[in-house]
Structure 1
Amino acid sequence: MSSKKVIGILTWREGKRFAEPDYLRRLVKAGQELGAQIFLFSHQDVFKAERKIRGFTPKSGGGWESSWYPWPQIVIDRYRRRVPEYMKLRHSNLFKFANSPFSKKWRVTELLANDERVKRWIPETYVYTPEKLKVMLKRHPMLYVKPGNGTGGRSILKVAVRGKQYELKGRDKRYVYKNASFQRAEDVGRWVRKWVTEQRISDGNFLVQQGLDLELVSNRIADIRLLIQKDAAGEWSVTGCGVRVGEKGSSTSNLHGGGRAIPFHVFVSKRFGEEGAQQILRECHHMAHQVASVLEEKFGRMMEFGLDIGVDVDGRSWLIEVNPKPGREIFKQMKAMDLYAEAIRRPVLFAVHLIEEKTGSRIRLAAQQSQSQPKRQMG
């Protein structure tokens, strides 16, 4: 058997069009540099009977080339669309995955909100109903109404009380800004109900979440994106973090909604001082390790998480969202290319670690078995 480690990356493709092609190209390159046989494949590329895979690797001049590959020893799941064919493959026993299937945002929030180790960092959150909205409007001066299965800041609505007015601000499915303002809670309720119906992403539900005052810069939302990953030894380790500062007047900080990426210390020490920044950073690291360990207990082995952490105007840290298949573009935008390269290498290093752990345990088992065999008497 070839000693080359065989790693598959499961992702969405249509023809030779892939989701997140730039990242996947770099991921394959990182694997090749580590001496692994590594390739992309999708659900339609699995040939069970022949036990082989049609895999894709980047061509040097751009584009992708396909070839037949042996069955992967480990698979990294980067599929981000919950299509039935993917779900069927994901829940089969055909492959050993580096990362387990994850749940919808609401279930994850509920799980974390009920765990003693992490609940202090979770803003009050419920599945949206008109009644829950009414209760939350009385309880908090600011709320977010957001899809339980959304990404990239789409369909998120901010509802804030300003004097006797309710101000509503958000971006729809197509990232178009929408604003409204009302004096009566009933009118807010009607407008939000319409928003939830029109902005639903596939069949997902909406959440109503306690709003946080994250306006660390006037009229701009800021939050922290932290990446925690398994390292080459299979241990959780924070790769790095940065601050995303939203566009002026935007209700989110998302980078592809016009936000900017700023190094953590540059931004946070300016607002809270050097000592305050160190304390916030320590808390963010502690939160990341606790959240990773709680979620891994619940869902099985995981590989990496992107945490969106809000630091409010009083310096208190809150967990806004956890993503099990995070991007790492924030490091690129901050020009922290060493962190960007490390963030790409780590999933491959962890996959290699899992393969070595598996083959190593086989060798150890064989050695133990041979030692435990009764010695034949000579003569």
Structure 2
Amino acid sequence: MGEVVRLAQERVVGILTWREGSRFSEPDYLRRLVLAGRKLGARVYLFSHQDVNAAQRKIRGFTPKKKGGWESRWQPWPDVVIDRYRRRVPQYMRLRHSNLFTFANSPFSKKWRVTLMLAKDERVSQWIPETAIYAPGAVRAMLKRYKLLYIKPGNGTGGRSILKLAARDKGYELLGRSKTYSQVKAKLGTIQGVENWVRRWVREQRISDGNFLVQQGVDLALVGNRVADVRLLIQKDERGEWSVTGRGVRVGKAGSSTSNLHGGGSAVPFLPFFTQKFGESRAQLIAEECDRLAHRIAEVLEERFGRMMEFGLDIGVDAQGRPWLIEVNPKPGREVFRQIGEKETYRLAIQRPVQFALQLGERKPV
């Protein structure tokens, strides 16, 4: 592969991700990330755990070809690494907890642990629905306080394995999306029937070895028979300060228990959606509270886990216009902005991680 040549003053950013052969997870986004780095004057490349030669301080890095696909060659050691690895395999975990790199983002805990931690922090607890780890009897106990519950995996993604449970006048309605995205419906007459049904769901729909959560349901049906929620992206900017990049609204398919785009949902711009529902001045207040929530959550999580660079927040807004935090993702997608036609927001959402990594690299001691 030849000698590794690094130009004087050249800034190098590595992106740690999963790969198998020349196949990468989220290739479209990562391609855009590399190209955004080039425009900022940096050398940016992808690599995985198997590509690191620590003894010689060089890395087999991958960059996009003009006509598609990837090419690889030995690359210089990165000043900063952006972690986009989404699979907690042992080889990745060993590398992640080594001292080989300066990472732009710290390791994060499982979603269910984060939710329970946030619920106990008085700075943010007002926005967190009541949540408990699933155990026999948990659903029955929570139904005494709320008529709507969600049972969901604590390490899930893309809206899979989520079950919506609603108490009605004559029994209970269950609506879920399995881990293969197929829709499931049931109507039951007794609480014991519900307990039995949920126990089977948890056993069959478990993702890896994660816990399930039982969570106070927030009525998100702002559009008739459709779930709607907010995807907000907060990122560190080129000064290293938290800034809300954008907000979009995801609207689920009719009758679906989730709003996820993977499950057939659609995306619409934030302010027009909430202006139509609540009026212009109230929509602006909702936007401000969502932003305040995001800044506070980012502050609390960074304090707990160490340096972070971005979070995708799923925020539910109920029929009274009150925001609730549904979920936090430390390695978020950003396709919602492309879908709603906010090209500048989408461009900024891709550019900011590299800007922050470059700013972080400049602060490193020589």
TM-score by length of 1: 0.94
Q: Of 320, 328, 353, which residue of structure 2 is paired with 1:322?
A: 328
Aligned to 1:87: 93
1:278 aligns with 2:287: no
1:5 aligns with 2:7: no
1:56 aligns with 2:57: no
Aligned to 2:186: 180
Q: Which moved more, 1:204-213 or 1:132-141?
A: 132-141
Aligned to 1:253: 259
Q: Of 142, 155, 160, which residue of structure 1 is paired with 2:148?
A: 142
Aligned to 1:77: 83
TM-fit CA distance, 1:193: 0.4
1:356 aligns with 2:359: no
| DSSP 3-state at the match of 1:238 | strand
Moved over 3 A (4+): none
| DSSP 3-state at the match of 2:132 | strand
Aligned to 1:233: 239
Aligned to 1:369: none
Equivalent residue letter for 2:37: G
Alignment of 1:1-379 (within 5 A): 2-359=8-365, 362=366
Equivalent residue letter for 2:103: F
Equivalent residue letter for 1:81: R
List gaps (5 residues or longer) in structure 2.
Answer: 1-6
| DSSP 3-state at the match of 1:139 | coil
| DSSP 3-state at the match of 1:130 | coil
User: 1:139-185: per-residue Cα shift (whole Å, max 9, x none)?
Assistant: 11010000000000000000101212100010101000111111100
TM-fit CA distance, 1:110: 1.3
Aligned to 1:365: none
| DSSP 3-state at the match of 2:144 | helix
Aligned to 2:3: none
User: 1:260-284: per-residue Cα shift (whole Å, max 9, x none)?
Assistant: 1110011001001001101000000
TM-fit CA distance, 1:18: 0.2
Equivalent residue letter for 1:52: K
Equivalent residue letter for 1:352: L
**How many angstroms apart in 2 are the aligned matches of 1:315 and 1:62?**
45
**How many angstroms apart in 2 are the aligned matches of 1:49 and 1:217?**
58
Equivalent residue letter for 1:56: F
Q: Which moved more, 1:66-75 or 1:1-10?
A: 1-10
Equivalent residue letter for 2:72: S
User: 1:45-100: per-residue Cα shift (whole Å, max 9, x none)?
Assistant: 01111111000000000000001001111000000111111111111111110000
Q: Contact 2:294 / 2:313 at 8 angstroms: preserved in 1?
A: yes
TM-fit CA distance, 1:343: 0.1
Equivalent residue letter for 1:53: I
**How many angstroms apart in 1 are the aligned matches of 2:8 and 2:138?**
59
Equivalent residue letter for 1:261: A
Q: Contact 2:137 / 2:195 at 8 angstroms: preserved in 1?
A: no
Equivalent residue letter for 2:281: E
Sequence identity (%): 68
Equivalent residue letter for 1:11: T
**How many angstroms apart in 2 are the aligned matches of 1:188 and 1:114?**
29
List gaps (5 residues or longer) in structure 1.
Answer: 363-379
| DSSP 3-state at the match of 2:279 | helix
Equivalent residue letter for 2:183: Y
TM-fit CA distance, 1:2: 2.0
CA RMSD across the alignment: 0.8
**How many angstroms apart in 1 are the aligned matches of 2:184 and 2:213?**
19
**How many angstroms apart in 1 are the aligned matches of 2:94 and 2:241?**
30
| DSSP 3-state at the match of 1:60 | coil
| DSSP 3-state at the match of 1:218 | coil
TM-fit CA distance, 1:133: 1.3
Find the structure with the greater CA-based Rg.
1
